[in-house]
């Protein structure tokens, strides 16, 4: 299948010398390094990485070709096979009928109507968390760490109907160890952890065992009341009846861990960036506060008020444009593919980079600037110009839930606190499995008078 002729057809094959010059950047902020490679060399660049055929895609048309038009020629790439060592056969890592079964099972819990029914529960959990964490005094917090706790509680309470508070610290610490190990493997030119007994691998196995132990406790608690809630856990339990009995427990574990890991991490990262943007751009924060207090007032966020928060929605969308949680999407070509006249060989890895697409100066005016108003004018003109939740048949199943959580948390926080930077140190990006802020940063939350 060929892409439209308007799509550039030339593939730039970087020489090893060109690649070596870029290596320091790729070992640090990989997202920005790939973006600069795209700016210098074009929409389709082949990287001379030993043993790997990696093609970087940074145009909306080519991204659409890979993720939608010719998606059946692509499967999850080597990076997802590395992720599979942790997530198992979850929704993110599987293909074909295994993926279809898991997707069909989980989909009702992520449909917009069901997600919207969770609004009041999310708002209550959010308010309770901030009452506990911040109270009525001025307070500073490490932002990403705090948002990780909140997003874990939100997903677990609304989608799994379990209370994670007794084990959340241990769970998040073990998750951090696992993610660091996975990223070490993803970034390696030679994946020594695949065949050597490294210290990182030993720590990873210990962390995974700890996570499995915690998950088993949470699942036993939920299984003691299987019919109480028609949530994601209930759907997965029903779907597990179709799984061979000897594999049923591991299938459930893989689905729950995948949903929990993806559902809380991407939201935590996005919340951290949103709060940093609001703290840095006080005029934007004031406008969000005015909208929130005008639409919500003293009642707190309710289901009917969320659709009226248009500017808050634009702030979230603009943050996800600049800092997409999923900054790169890997696919492996099953057969030879053509982008116009450019040939992608079978077995090649194609890396679609939303971070680079979102910052293209020919697609976005003042591409590096935080300008929420651009999203008040309607969706971007070109399909796949904006893809914070990927695209095509395998777009993120939790997009509606993530957007709802982000808007509720932002509206709740800004209506109750003025958010300010503690210092002006530069916050960089750490492109791990998600695009984390680095280092984690502190913000000051000062209570403001509550409306009556």
Residues 298-316: tens digit of each pLDDT: 677 878 889 999 999 999 9
DSSP secondary structure letters along 38-103: HHHH-SEEEE--TT--EEEE-SHHHHHIIIIITGGGEEE-HHHHHHHHHH-S-TTT--HHHHHHHH
What average pLDDT does this structure show over 59-86? 91
Q: How confident is the model at residue 226 (pLDDT cuts 50, 70, 90)?
A: low
| 258 in any annotated domain | yes
Instruction: Please report, to the nearest 10 degrees, the dihedral formed by the alpha carbons of residues 405, 408, 411, 412 taken in order.
Output: -110
pLDDT at 333 over 80: yes
Q: What is the mean pLDDT of the chain?
A: 90
The reply to whether omega before 439 is within 30° of 0 (cis) is yes
What would the pLDDT profile of 343-389 be if each residue is shown by its tens digit?
A: 899 999 999 999 999 999 999 999 999 999 999 988 888 999 999 99
What would the pLDDT profile of 133-191 be if each residue is shown by its tens digit?
A: 887 667 777 899 999 999 999 999 999 999 999 999 999 999 999 999 998 888 887 88
What global pTM score does this model have?
0.94
pLDDT of 77: 84
pLDDT at 227 over 80: no
| 356 in any annotated domain | yes
Q: How confident is the model at residue 8 (pLDDT cuts 50, 70, 90)?
A: low
What would the pLDDT profile of 10-52 be if each residue is shown by its tens digit?
A: 788 898 899 889 888 888 899 999 999 999 999 999 998 777 7
pLDDT of 451: 62
Distance CA 158, CA 233 (A): 10
Distance CA 21, CA 35 (A): 15
Q: How confident is the model at residue 9 (pLDDT cuts 50, 70, 90)?
A: low
Task: Give the single-character DSSP code of 388.
Answer: B
Percent of the chain exceeding pLDDT 70 equals 96
| 4 in any annotated domain | no
| 7 in any annotated domain | no
Q: How confident is the model at residue 55 (pLDDT cuts 50, 70, 90)?
A: very high
Taking CB atoms within 8 Å and a gap of at least 24, the contacts of 173-180 are 174/207, 174/208, 174/210, 174/211, 174/214, 175/207, 175/211, 175/261, 175/265, 177/203, 177/204, 177/206, 177/207, 178/86, 178/204, 178/207, 178/208, 178/211, 179/265, 179/432, 179/433, 180/432
pLDDT of 230: 81
Find the helix packing angle between 399-416 and 310-322, rounded to 10°: 110
Q: How many residues does the chain have?
A: 452
Residue 193 and residue 185 in contact, taking contact as beta carbons nearer than 8 Å? yes
Beta-bridge partners for 447 = 417
| 416 in any annotated domain | yes
Distance CA 352, CA 386 (A): 12
* Residue spans of alpha helices (H) in 189-244: 199-223, 232-239
What average pLDDT does this structure show over 435-447? 93
* Alpha carbon separation from 398 to 27, 258, 287, 404, 436 (Å, rounded): 30, 12, 28, 10, 19
What average pLDDT does this structure show over 197-217? 95
Structure tokens at 31: 């997202």
| SS3 state at 315 | helix
| 323 in any annotated domain | yes
What would the pLDDT profile of 106-132 be if each residue is shown by its tens digit?
A: 999 999 999 999 999 999 999 999 988
pLDDT of 311: 97
Q: How confident is the model at residue 78 (pLDDT cuts 50, 70, 90)?
A: confident
Q: What angle do CA 420, 428, 12 make, to 5 degrees?
A: 145
Q: How many domains is the chain built from?
A: 1
Distance CA 70, CA 88 (A): 26
| 29 in any annotated domain | yes
pLDDT of 335: 95
Q: What angle do CA 99, 326, 96 make, to 5 degrees?
A: 15
Other CB atoms within 10 Å distance of the CB of residue 13 = 13
CA atoms within 13 A on the CB side of 90: 22
Helix (H) or strand (E) holding 443: strand 442-447
| 99 in any annotated domain | yes
User: Residue 233 belongs to what domain range?
Assistant: 12-447
CATH classification at residue 395? 1.10.630.10
Beta-bridge partners for 164 = none
Structure tokens at 14: 């970087």
């Amino acid at each position: 299948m060929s892409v439209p002729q308007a799509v550039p057809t030339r593939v730039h094959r970087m020489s090893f010398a060109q690649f070596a010059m870029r290596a320091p950047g790729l070992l640090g902020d990989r997202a920005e390094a790939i973006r600069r490679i795209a700016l210098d060399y074009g929409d389709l660049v082949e990287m001379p990485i030993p043993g790997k055929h990696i093609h970087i895609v940074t145009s909306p048309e080519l991204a659409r070709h890979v993720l939608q038009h010719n998606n059946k020629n692509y499967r999850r790439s080597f990076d997802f096979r590395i992720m599979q060592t942790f997530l198992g056969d979850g929704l993110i890592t599987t293909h074909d009928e295994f993926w279809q079964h898991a997707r069909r099972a989980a989909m009702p819990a992520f449909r917009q109507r069901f997600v919207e029914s969770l609004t009041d529960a999310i708002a209550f959990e959010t308010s309770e968390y901030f009452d506990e964490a911040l109270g009525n005094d001025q307070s500073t917090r490490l932002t990403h760490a705090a948002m990780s706790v909140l997003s874990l509680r939100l997903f677990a309470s609304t989608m799994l109907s379990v209370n994670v508070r007794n084990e959340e610290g241990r769970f998040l610490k073990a998750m951090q160890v696992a993610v660091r190990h996975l990223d070490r493997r993803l970034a390696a030119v030679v994946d020594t952890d695949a065949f050597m007994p490294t210290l990182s691998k030993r720590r990873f196995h210990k962390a995974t065992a700890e996570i499995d132990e915690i998950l088993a406790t949470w699942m036993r608690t939920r299984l003691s009341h299987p019919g109480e809630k028609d949530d994601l856990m209930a759907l997965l339990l029903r779907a597990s009846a179709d799984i061979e009995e000897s594999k049923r427990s591991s299938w459930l574990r893989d689905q729950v861990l995948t949903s929990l890991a993806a559902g809380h991490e991407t939201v935590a990262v996005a919340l951290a960036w949103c709060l940093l943007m609001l703290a840095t751009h006080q005029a934007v924060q004031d406008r969000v506060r005015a909208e929130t207090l005008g639409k919500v007032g003293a009642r707190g966020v309710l289901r009917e008020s969320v659709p009226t928060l248009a500017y808050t929605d634009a702030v979230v969308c603009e943050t996800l444009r600049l800092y997409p949680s999923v900054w790169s999407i890997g696919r492996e070509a099953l057969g030879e593919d053509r982008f116009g006249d450019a040939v992608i060989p079978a077995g090649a890895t194609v890396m679609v980079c939303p971070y680079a697409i979102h910052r293209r100066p020919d697609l976005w005016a003042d591409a590096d600037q935080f300008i929420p108003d651009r999203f008040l004018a309607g969706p971007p003109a070109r399909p796949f110009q904006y893809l914070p939740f990927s695209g095509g048949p395998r777009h993120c199943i939790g997009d509606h839930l993530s957007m709802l959580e982000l808007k509720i948390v932002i509206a709740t926080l800004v209506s109750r606190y003025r958010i300010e930077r503690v210092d002006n140190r530069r916050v960089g990006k750490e492109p791990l499995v998600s695009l984390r802020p680095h280092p984690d940063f502190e913000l000051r939350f000062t209570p403001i008078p509550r409306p009556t």
